[in-house]
Amino acid sequence: MSPTPQRIVCVAGARPNYMKIKPVLDALEARGAETVLVHTGQHYDPAMNEVFFQDLGLRPPDHFLGVGSGSHATQTARVMTAFEPLLDTVAPDAVVVVGDVNSTLACALVTAKAGPLLAHVEAGLRSRDWSMPEEVNRVATDRLSDYLLAPSPDAADNLRAEGYRDDQIHVVGNVMIDTLFANRERAAASDILARLGHEPGTYGLVTLHRPANVDDPEVLAGLLKALGEIAAHCPLVLPVHPRAAGKLTALGVPGGIRLVPPAGYLDFVALQAGARIVLTDSGGVQEETTALGVPCVTLRDNTERPITVEEGTNVLAGRDPDRVTATALRVLADPPPPRRPELWDGRAGERIARVILEGGTAAGRPRPTDAPPGRADRPEWPDHEDRPPRQVRDR
């Protein structure tokens, strides 16, 4: 008699999660696992939701929690109260959470208290900026997890420095790149450039959505000034994130910057692949441009993906308008050579499935609090004594 397949709950809540969970679902199912896809509804706008499921070939979720928007506390609480009874009913062997959004932390908390094994995809990423809500979510989720699935060696180094056990840490590669590679040919067939009247290599692409960049009118105005100066050398296309649309309209957008509706996954990959330069505050875009070999300028003071700077095409510019302009013009004149980190090879999902399905059950596995002899019973937390005051923002 064959053994009963393991039942694995996979959680997605926001747009970046969809690209991350698809290769994990596929690989688990290919190895015979029973998978249950839970969509928390943290992103609910059709432009941020249904179109991505369609583009990725991601099946409809088995359960939709419909939590919607709200403050960090409200949104996290809604996910927890909706996920807890579902987890009790489904009774999985393990739960997989991805990334660093509020849904990630909320489902991790419920899982840790309920008892199934917890796997965190993209574990160990650190910006060391405690004012970022995502950093809080990352650190706390890692602390609760049985399997820390790191995308790159630097993330694993962060986890070891914080005191996690070696048997928890697995360098598996980058699931975002799995999805990118699986869809390259379909994205290449997109007509988005023709619709916008651009040829490959003749435009720059911009994304802005981080609260630190779009919620402060002074910061956003400075970035728009810099983008206007860059646009004088290279016209820019800016797909408008819903949380930034009204703020951009209120401030006014300089000439040379074309606002367009949010793009689906395939169209957005095509826009990235054809761009002469990408300017972004998105972590996922830093990774995708590195895999595509496209020059990227990150409009942030830090990045939790330093490997894209060290081994990729990403340059960290900060948010000072003069520095952003100077950095972008330098990259336009002398683009970095294409480089791709090791294990960003399209097989991260397979490695993740192997770790989860061969790791045993919760009853027989050491849990996150079980430290080996001579090691502290919890990891050292990053030093944030000088951190700025936290701000509650709508994600």
DSSP string across 194-234: HHHT--TTS-EEEE---HHHHSSHHHHHHHHHHHHHHHTTS
| 268 conformational bin, left if phi > 0, alpha if psi -120 to 50, beta if neither | alpha
What pLDDT, on the 0 to 100 scale, is given for residue 128?
Answer: 92
For residue 40, how far is the Cα from the chain centroid? 16
Which letter does DSSP use for residue 366 in this model? -
CA gap 333, 184 in Å, rounded: 27
Cα separations (Å) of 173 from 20, 27, 213, 323? 11, 14, 29, 32
Closest listed residue to residue 221, CA positions, set 70, 324, 144, 294: 324
- pLDDT tens, 343-368? 999 999 999 999 999 998 887 778 88
Q: Where in the sequence numbering do the catalytic residues fall?
A: 209
> Can you name the CATH fold of 7-173+347-364?
Rossmann fold (3.40.50)
Hey, how many other C-beta atoms are within 10 angstroms of the C-beta on 79? 27
Contact of 138 with 100, CB cutoff 8 Å: yes
Q: In whole angstroms, what is the distance from residue 324 CA to residue 277 CA?
A: 13
DSSP string, 298-322: E-SS--S-THHHHSSSEEE--S-HH
Structural domain boundaries of the chain?
A: 7-173+347-364, 191-333
b/e map 110-129, b = 16+ CB within 10 Å: bbbebebbbbbbbbbbbbeb
User: CA–CA distance from 262 to each of 28, 238, 257 (Å)?
Assistant: 31, 9, 15
Distance CA 271, CA 260 (A): 12
pLDDT of residue 364: 77
pLDDT above 70: residue 192: yes
Q: Could you tell me the pTM of the whole model?
A: 0.88
Q: Is the pLDDT of residue 385 over 90?
A: no
Confidence class of residue 52 from pLDDT cuts 50, 70 and 90?
confident
Side-chain half-sphere CA neighbours of 132 within 13 A: 24
Residues 154-165, mean pLDDT to the nearest whole number: 97
pLDDT in the model for residue 358:
94
Give whole-number Cα distances, 159 to 172, 324, 378, in Å: 14, 31, 12
Which single residue is written with the structure tokens 């981080």?
210
SS3 276: coil
Residue-wise pLDDT for 263-295, tens only, equals: 999 999 999 999 999 999 999 999 999 999 999
pLDDT (mean) for 149-178: 97
The Cα-based distances of 158 to 104, 188, 300, 376 in angstroms read: 19, 36, 20, 16
As a whole number of angstroms, the distance between CA 387 and CA 346 comes to 37
pLDDT value of position 300: 96
- What integer pLDDT is reported at residue 68 of this predicted model? 80
Looking at the predicted structure, is the pLDDT value of residue 132 above 60? yes
Tell me whether the CATH fold assigned to 7-173+347-364 matches the one assigned to 191-333: yes
Cβ atoms of 376 and 326 closer than 8 Å = no
Check whether 143 has a pLDDT greater than 90.
yes
For a pLDDT cut of 70, what percent of the chain falls above it? Answer: 90
List 204's β-bridge partners, or say none.
236, 277
pLDDT band at 16 (very low <50, low <70, confident <90, very high): confident
Nearest to 130 by CA among 393, 391, 349, 395: 391
The model's confidence at residue 66, banded by pLDDT at 50, 70 and 90, is: confident
- Among 98, 110, 116, 113, which residue's Cα sits nearest to residue 18? 98
Report the chain's terminal Cα–Cα distance, integer Å: 48
Q: How confident is the model at residue 44 (pLDDT cuts 50, 70, 90)?
A: low
**Closest residue by Cα to residue 268 from 354, 180, 351, 175:** 180
Distance CA 158, CA 379 (A): 11
C-beta of residue 223 within 8 angstroms of C-beta of residue 299: yes
Q: List pLDDT tens digits, range 299-346.
A: 999 999 999 999 999 999 999 999 999 999 999 999 999 999 999 999
pLDDT bucket at 6, cuts 50 / 70 / 90: very high
Segment of 245-254, 305-314, 381-390 carrying the highest mean pLDDT:
305-314
3-state DSSP helix/strand/coil % of the chain, to nearest 5: 45, 15, 40
The span from the CA of 331 to the CA of 314, in Å, is 10
Pick the CATH number of 191-333 from 3.30.830.10, 3.40.50.2000, 3.40.50.150, 3.40.50.2300: 3.40.50.2000
Does the pLDDT value for residue 393 go beyond 60?
no
